Amino acid sequence: MKLATMTAHRGRILHCLRDPGEAGDLDAIDYFDDGVLLVDDGHIAAAGPSASLLPGLSESVKIIDHEGALLVPGFIDCHVHYPQVDVIASYGHQLLDWLNNYTYTEEARFAKEAVAQSAAGFFLDQLLCNGTTTAMVFATVHPHSVDAIFTAARQKNMRLAAGKVMMDRNCPVELQDTPQSAYVESRELLQRWHGQDRLHYAITPRFAPTSSDAQLSLAGHLAAEFPDVHVHTHLAENRDEVAWVAKLFPDSRSYVDVYKRAGLVRERAVFAHGLYLDDQDCVELASAGSSIAFCPGSNLFLGSGLFDLDRARESRIRVGLGTDIGGGTSFSLLRTMSEAYKALHLNEQSLPAVRGLFLATLGAAQALHMENSIGNFDIGKEADFLVLDGAPTALLERRIGRTQSISEELFAQMILGDDRSIAKTYLMGALAYSKEPVPP
């Protein structure tokens, strides 16, 4: 006999059907003021108005009434470093000095397995209390750092992509691998973890300056052997970095070309930042089906620059938001949307709230090529979703009280919200985090 596994979550339901664009096209979203999200065995069975869905439900279906709270798909962080939790808020440097002065030293601590295990647990708890249900994650150069994050994610049933950092030059010796060891260790990890439950492997050369030609080309070789794994790296984040890459790779036309020659510009390749690209780079990224993780919090904190979202959209490059912890300073994708709004404003662009939601949900799922599984409430997708608190602070309660539309309310959450706005986080229909204690 099949056990009753169906649950109806009643509340205000909001999700994106496609990219609302710069104009924030409201036809691109579905919103039900009194709605039901029907979850069957961890997957979406329906999302629609409660007046049409509730009457047809059998009595065995459990109904959870969220009392008018807003339910949205789980947030997806397209670029984040789990070993950099303790690097957040390190003072005063741009990228290259920040790496040398803080980041590499911290990542060297991950040589100890226990350090990696304890950081992995803390990190995933931070994701969940910030409403992040899927992430594309950098580990460190140590293979056990990948085992630690995958083991912890698997226990929580999170969808997560991660990989061992590959770097064989221009960084401290204790953090260096070799082209061969990086290839062999990445391949072993990939075979151990890729496709287990909700886990994906990502081939992860740190960035062009810390990999030799030989290492990049072996990374590309591995990518060719396993077309369905991700590639995850940094691209054109900082002016000094870009100048350094031009010196290190004099035969390449551009930074993108360095990765292209190695066979790393392809589908399922996620490039963090991409601030300094030319038109040809954009065409190449788009035609390859590669993606950019837009990390505005990090771009502002590290003084890296301003991302051109309009050009990425015109070029049809897949874009999702990333926090880039610890270059970024907040795990919250609501905060990250707020940073994106401000960074885009400085570039004479804008970010309507529904587009912010898109970049953290369906757009991010598309950027990770996971849109068949997650990103919105289409029937059959995995039921990762959030219950937002409409009054997480006195200020938000007051400000939301004066809003007159779902766009205005969402914009208030996006500009003023953070982890306090996340009341509950569900993974495949199961409660994974609750701000308030759950009665037994």
- Per-position DSSP letters for 199-251, written without gaps between them: EEEEEEE--GGGS-HHHHHHHHHHHHH-TTSEEEEEES-SHHHHHHHHHH-TT
Q: Is 123 in the site for ligand GUN (CB under 6 A)?
A: no
The gap from C-alpha 435 to its chain's centroid, in whole angstroms, comes to: 22
Residue list 216-275, contact with ligand GUN (CB under 6 A): 234, 237
Which CB, 12 or 81, lies closer to Zn ion? 81
Cα–Cα dist 434/24, whole Å = 31
Residue list 240-279, contact with Zn ion (CB under 5 A): 272
Beta carbon of residue 273, minimum distance to Zn ion (angstroms, whole number):
8
Cα–Cα dist 3/19, whole Å = 38
Q: Is 90 in the site for ligand GUN (CB under 6 A)?
A: no
Bridge-partner residues for 233, per DSSP? 271
Which CB, 153 or 295, lies closer to Zn ion? 295
Beta carbon of residue 161, minimum distance to Zn ion (angstroms, whole number):
14
What is the three-state SS of 365-407? HHHCCCCCCCCCCCCCCECCEEEECCCCCHHHHHHHHCCCCHH
CA dihedral 133, 138, 143, 145 (to 10 degrees): -60
Options 327, 356, 363, 417; binder of ligand GUN; rule CB under 6 A: 327
Beta carbon of residue 172, minimum distance to Zn ion (angstroms, whole number):
18
Residues 6+ apart with CB under 8 A from 62: 4, 6, 7, 8
Q: Which residue shows structure tokens 């040809």?
A: 280
Q: Is 307 in the site for ligand GUN (CB under 6 A)?
A: no
Q: Which does 103 bind (CB under 5 to 8 A by kind): ligand GUN, Zn ion, none?
A: ligand GUN
Q: Count CB atoms within 10 A of the CB of residue 196.
A: 12
Q: Judge contact between 97 and 91, C-beta under 8 A.
A: no
Which CB, 165 or 312, lies closer to Zn ion? 165
Q: Judge contact between 317 and 291, C-beta under 8 A.
A: yes
Beta carbon of residue 126, minimum distance to Zn ion (angstroms, whole number):
16
The answer for 374, left when phi > 0, alpha when psi is -120 to 50, beta otherwise, is beta
Beta carbon of residue 215, minimum distance to ligand GUN (angstroms, whole number):
14
Query: Binding residues for ligand GUN, how many (CB under 6 A)?
Result: 11
Bridge-partner residues for 73, per DSSP? 385
Beta carbon of residue 418, minimum distance to ligand GUN (angstroms, whole number):
21
Beta carbon of residue 250, minimum distance to ligand GUN (angstroms, whole number):
21
Which CB, 220 or 327, lies closer to ligand GUN? 327
Q: Which two tokens stand for residue 297?
A: 């919090």
Which CB, 236 or 387, lies closer to ligand GUN? 236
Q: Is 206 in the site for ligand GUN (CB under 6 A)?
A: yes
Closest CA to 273 of 248, 298, 252: 298
Beta carbon of residue 23, minimum distance to Zn ion (angstroms, whole number):
31
Residue list 315-374, contact with Zn ion (CB under 5 A): 324
Query: What's the CA angle centered on 351, arms 232 and 277, to 5 degrees?
Result: 45
Beta carbon of residue 328, minimum distance to Zn ion (angstroms, whole number):
8
Interacting stretch for ligand GUN, rule CB under 6 A, among 95-103, 117-125, 155-163, 368-376?
A: 95-103
Beta carbon of residue 104, minimum distance to ligand GUN (angstroms, whole number):
9
Residue list 281-300, contact with ligand GUN (CB under 6 A): 298
Options 284, 308, 324, 371; binder of ligand GUN; rule CB under 6 A: 324
Options 81, 164, 230, 318; binder of ligand GUN; rule CB under 6 A: 81
Q: Is 168 in the site for ligand GUN (CB under 6 A)?
A: no
Q: Which two tokens stand for residue 50?
A: 């409660």
Half-sphere exposure of 201 (CA within 13 A, CB side): 26
Q: Is 142 in the site for ligand GUN (CB under 6 A)?
A: no
Cα–Cα dist 379/383, whole Å = 9
- Summarize as ranges the residues that interact with ligand GUN (CB under 6 A): 81, 95, 99, 103, 206-207, 234, 237, 298, 324, 327
- Summarize as ranges the residues that interact with Zn ion (CB under 5 A): 272, 324
